[in-house]
Structure 1
Amino acid sequence: MHVLKTLLAQVKEFTRDSILTPIFMLVEVAMEMVIPLLMASIIDEGVNKGDMHHIFVIGAYMILAALVGLWAGMMGGKYGARASAGFARNLRKSMFANIQTFSFENIDKYSTAGLVTRLTTDVTNLQNSYQMILRMGMRAPASLIVAMIMSLYISPRLASVYLIAVLILACVLFLIISRVTKIFDYVFKKYDDLNASVQENISGIRVVKAYVREDFEKEKFQKASGNIYKFLLKAERILACNAPVMMTTVYTCILLISWLGAKMIVTSTFTTGELMSMLTYCMNILGSLMMLSMVFVMITMSVANANRVAEVLNEKATIVNPENPVMEVPNGDIDFDHVNFAYKKDAEEFVLEDIDLHIKRGETIGVLGGTGSAKSTLVNLISRLYDVTEGKVRVGDIDVRDYDLEVIRNQVSVVLQNNVLFSGTIYENLRWGSENATDEECQKACKLACADEFIERFPDGYDTYIEQGGSNVSGGQRQRLCIARALLKQPKVLILDDSTSAVDTATDAKIRKAFREEIPGTTKLIIAQRISSVQDADRIVVMDNGRIDGIGTHEELLESNAIYRDVYESQTGGGSGDFDEKEGE
């Protein structure tokens, strides 16, 4: 019921269309039910008695009823299509809007492929089901009930044949639905695996081709696709039983009605017109049952879709604005006050443990550590991409949880490890940092990030089109564009999360020099693997296993910190210079 309420709330402005559709379907049913009675009157009162006036008059009524029924059916189709398409549009819009509010913690619960499936396949199935319910869901039971009443009115004895047929078909339908429900529930979850396989292959197609793994990828896709095929085939085989049972029942009813009706006509207790009406109502009743079976099958298929869509709609962001948020970040001071953090509330161990770190505005802080030392997790807490489990993170002496989310994230600019560019020109990508940035401001930011060097070599300069994901620029160029984009925000805190790893050391040094000279008042946190990238920082934080192993200047750490000293010696003495290797020795 909760799922149904969630979905129906998305009908919104299409409520009128959703109400008009079943009304028009009822009008169509009424016209269809009148026609057999008129036909019986023509045969009994007109044909049998040779009354041509009666035939013409009743015939005109039949034509009128048919035209009204046709018009009602067309209107039902029109409003039903509009209501279902609008319902699907609202579902996608609301889901996408809700996804945009998700924190990283929310996003971690769903796979990308799973969200794409819910926005596409699941919503399409719900759209088809909604239209089926509005039209057939109203028409079929109404037609069935009215036809049964009319049949009982004409001949209760013959109408009992229909009652038996309805009970038989209802039992068969129940057995079929009970068996296929679980199958469809399983199948739609497997669509996530299929989409994941496609997404992974396309995003990594260069690696696939470089390692000549096309056959392996084909086999993996065929396995995911074959799994869906196998279970859908099983479900369809069960559903296929519905048609022969239905048709057998229909023809049996026709034979019984014809046989019993003929006997009654011979004994003069029944008329030919009434027999014709009963046969017509027979087709209406059994046709309605077939429609109902289709509606139930469609609903059965869409139950799993409904649950998956409602799950995303009902997902509440774990990070939201406070009631009276602070709307201004006073300065770039950063304080970690005995912070503990775990990605899951019930986790046995913390990812970050007892982090006590105080950074003054304008400082340049280097953050070093091996893979898995929680460097990225540490800086993600500053812009409130995650909330601390215990302790406090303050920016400008104010808890980050007290800020308006947009305000804190605009003033704490993060260049993440995954450098993502979007399809569009370089100018359009840069203006993600500031929508109203002028061309001069964009160019200045690119100069600071040393991106102007390669942009000016492009034939179209800043109007060069960037392909999706930045696939037509190199890794280093992509990193510099992302840094420029972050600088356009003019933040009080700038975080570079291993964002110069693909840049040569000379360019890296230029970027750091530009930061020192051009944005001295901005607090800068630089996560890096190369000690050369942070050795001129005001202080360097060495992370190890989610804890701070040491804090100090380059010279101080060389004297006091074993991890830092070992890595420095390996990087300057011809070794690998790998944090993980040194930690493992």
Structure 2
Amino acid sequence: MLPTILSRFLRPHWPLLVAVVAFQLVQSMASLYLPTLNADIIDNGVATGDTGYIMGVGGLMLLITLVQVAAAIAAVYFGAKAAMRVGRDIRSSVFHHVNEFSEREVSQFGAPSLITRTTNDVQQVQILVLMTCTMLVSAPILAVGGVVMALQQDVNLSWLLAVSVPVLLVAVGGIIIRTVPLFRKMQVRIDTVNRVLREQISGIRVVRAFVREDRETQRFAVANDELTDTALRVGRLMALMFPVVMLVLNVTSVAVLWFGASQIDAGTMEVGALTAFLSYIMQILMAVMMATFMAILIPRAAVCADRIHEVLATETSVRPPANPVSDFDTSGEIDFRDVEFSYPGAEKPVLSDIDFTVAPGSTTAIIGSTGSGKTTLVHLLPRLFDATKGRVVVDGVAVADADPDALWARIGLVPQKPYLFTGTVESNLRYGRPDASEEELWQALETAQAADFVRAMPDGLDAPISQGGTNVSGGQRQRLAIARALVKKPQIYIFDDSFSALDLSTDARLRAALRKDVGDATLVIVAQRVSTIVDADQILVLEDGRIVGRGTHEELLEGNETYKEIVESQLTAEEAA
């Protein structure tokens, strides 16, 4: 897939490539002409003692050398510019394409692999473009031009070229063939190291809590050793490359001098011609060596390009509608109609026969045992997944037909694992609505029961938040995530087990504040604690992906055994009534 990636991302920068080729052509032509001028000085100037001829041709050689240097600098400049732009474009394309993925595709690749593909893999392709612009363009010109110019100097020694070049190509080709699978394995093992390292850094508290530092150190050591072993095997093969090239180069040089000296002694060749022939054969072999160096880069870049193409060629399972609808009829109505959802390759659906309606402005709670499908169900609303059967309708429009931006603008999601971004409290709160006033931010914090601890921070709204919100507690992180959703002021709120880290008192105050401040909005609450949902207008009881009960807390307590079991596992039925 390397040609596909290169053609796609190099095409917009063809003016830079034209400039590179032009300057490389000038540089190569200068390199090819200089040995001939040097031969003229030796044979026609030095041999006759003509100082004027030597000065004239020498001056011309100096001028051509200056042109060669200028062309080389310009070629590297434009080549580097093209390579950096290609790298930028590939990274941007991968990033924007990944942003369109649903949770299914992100899980399929894994975050560490996607990071490696966007950074390390793109860098390998970028290096290949740079080396191609600075070396590969001039290599064929020097090789072909060197053969032509060498034959003009002496035809009798041309058999040396016919022997040395194929020997070099066969030796280098054998090494390259063995390195390709190793490069592929090395990229996979870089993914593994990134994954293990990311897990250990993210889960450092768990590691320390269970005193598993030694085990995690060993696990990283295994991944690191596997990568090192593969890299060493690649390095050993690559270490053979230049000795092989230099061996052929030096043997050829000795052969040229040996057989050329015989011809000079016989009077069939002049010293200048031999010097020029030697220079040309060195240029030819150096061109082959440059191509060899490229051959080192191409296999790894090809592997990386395959991995990049795999991401770019993967279509999201949540496809945007052909004719998106952005006009919604009502405000906050939700309707699940015979909905079913299955993961690819799963033996049975995660959700089956899901039928319910949520009236605008009401509160619907979803409760059930772990793995019953609660989170999957609410993820169908903002279309993080697509239902495999049935329809999910929001405000009269099927989510599969809705304009994604218009749909997401109506929904405020607080995920099961709240995530905060690097920045400040303020920047995180404004994530859904950048134009929110400071007064609205504080109002959202008051409702989310987060205002007190934010005021206690030294910088208030400007207090720094680290990646993932790791510098605040779990309960504070949840409340800031709730406040972020409140700032957005959507028609529908989805709280996916978003009160689990709160104590009962804070939970009660937050729910009371929500009823007061967002009473007109529709609330969908996924919860494990019965106390969180006792006041809901409708409670859905999920078991094995099916709705096995619906009604108010009192109705379910009287007539639903599954709900009663959940209640009794947390508190007695009399306490819950």
Q: What amino acid does structure 2 have at the position aligned with 1:462?
A: L
After superposition, the C-alpha distances for 1:344-381 in whole angstroms (9 at most, x for unaligned) are 2x433111111111111111111101111000000111
Partner of 1:224: 223
SS at the partner of 1:494? strand
Unaligned 5+ segments in structure 2 are none
The 1:46/1:264 distance shift into structure 2, 3 A limit, reads: same
Residue correspondence of structure 1 range 60-209 to structure 2 within 5 A: 60-209=59-208
Q: What amino acid does structure 1 have at the position aligned with 2:531?
A: S
Partner of 1:425: 424
Query: After alignment, is 181-190 or 104-113 more displaced?
Result: 104-113
Q: What amino acid does structure 1 have at the position aligned with 2:412?
A: S
SS at the partner of 2:38? helix
Q: What amino acid does structure 1 have at the position aligned with 2:472?
A: V
Residue correspondence of structure 1 range 452-491 to structure 2 within 5 A: 452-491=451-490
CA distance in 2, matches of 1:518, 1:390: 36
Is the 8 Å Cα contact of residues 337 and 355 (structure 2) preserved in structure 1?
A: yes
Is the 8 Å Cα contact of residues 411 and 492 (structure 2) preserved in structure 1?
A: yes
SS at the partner of 1:292? helix
In the superposition, the TM-score normalised over structure 1's length comes to: 0.95
**Across the two proteins, how many residue pairs are aligned to each other?**
573
Query: After alignment, is 17-26 or 369-378 more displaced?
Result: 17-26
User: CA RMSD of the aligned region, Å?
Assistant: 1.6
Q: What amino acid does structure 2 have at the position aligned with 1:229?
A: T
Partner of 1:341: 341
CA distance in 2, matches of 1:517, 1:211: 43
Partner of 2:400: 401
Partner of 1:581: none
CA-CA distance at 1:439 after TM superposition: 0.6
Residue correspondence of structure 1 range 372-391 to structure 2 within 5 A: 372-391=371-390
CA-CA distance at 1:7 after TM superposition: 3.6
SS at the partner of 1:108? helix
Query: After alignment, is 30-39 or 215-224 more displaced?
Result: 215-224
CA distance in 1, matches of 2:496, 2:290: 59
Partner of 1:25: 24
CA distance in 2, matches of 1:244, 1:191: 28
Partner of 2:237: 238
In the superposition, the TM-score normalised over structure 2's length comes to: 0.96
CA distance in 2, matches of 1:78, 1:550: 70
Structure 1 residue 9 corresponds to structure 2 residue 15: no
CA-CA distance at 1:11 after TM superposition: 3.1
The 4+ residue runs of structure 1 with deviation greater than 4 A are: none
Is the 8 Å Cα contact of residues 6 and 313 (structure 1) preserved in structure 2?
A: no
CA-CA distance at 1:474 after TM superposition: 1.2
CA distance in 2, matches of 1:40, 1:496: 84
Is the 8 Å Cα contact of residues 433 and 487 (structure 1) preserved in structure 2?
A: no
Unaligned 5+ segments in structure 1 are 578-585
Partner of 1:582: none
Q: What amino acid does structure 2 have at the position aligned with 1:497?
A: D
CA-CA distance at 1:339 after TM superposition: 0.6
Is the 8 Å Cα contact of residues 7 and 310 (structure 1) preserved in structure 2?
A: no
Partner of 1:569: 568
Q: What amino acid does structure 2 have at the position aligned with 1:568?
A: V
SS at the partner of 1:501? coil
CA distance in 1, matches of 2:537, 2:251: 91
CA-CA distance at 1:217 after TM superposition: 2.2
SS at the partner of 2:435? coil
Is the 8 Å Cα contact of residues 458 and 464 (structure 1) preserved in structure 2?
A: yes
SS at the partner of 1:337? strand
CA-CA distance at 1:417 after TM superposition: 0.4
CA-CA distance at 1:316 after TM superposition: 2.5
CA distance in 2, matches of 1:217, 1:278: 62
Q: What amino acid does structure 1 have at the position aligned with 2:476?
A: Q
Q: What amino acid does structure 2 have at the position aligned with 1:513?
A: A
SS at the partner of 1:394? strand
CA-CA distance at 1:13 after TM superposition: 4.9
After superposition, the C-alpha distances for 1:418-463 in whole angstroms (9 at most, x for unaligned) are 1101122211111112111001111111122111132222232222
SS at the partner of 2:9? coil
After superposition, the C-alpha distances for 1:244-269 in whole angstroms (9 at most, x for unaligned) are 22222112111211111111111111
Q: What amino acid does structure 2 have at the position aligned with 1:137?
A: L
CA distance in 1, matches of 2:3, 2:108: 23
Q: What amino acid does structure 2 have at the position aligned with 1:181?
A: V
CA distance in 2, matches of 1:232, 1:518: 60
SS at the partner of 1:386? coil
After superposition, the C-alpha distances for 1:184-230 in whole angstroms (9 at most, x for unaligned) are 01111111101011111111122223333333222222211111111
SS at the partner of 1:241? helix
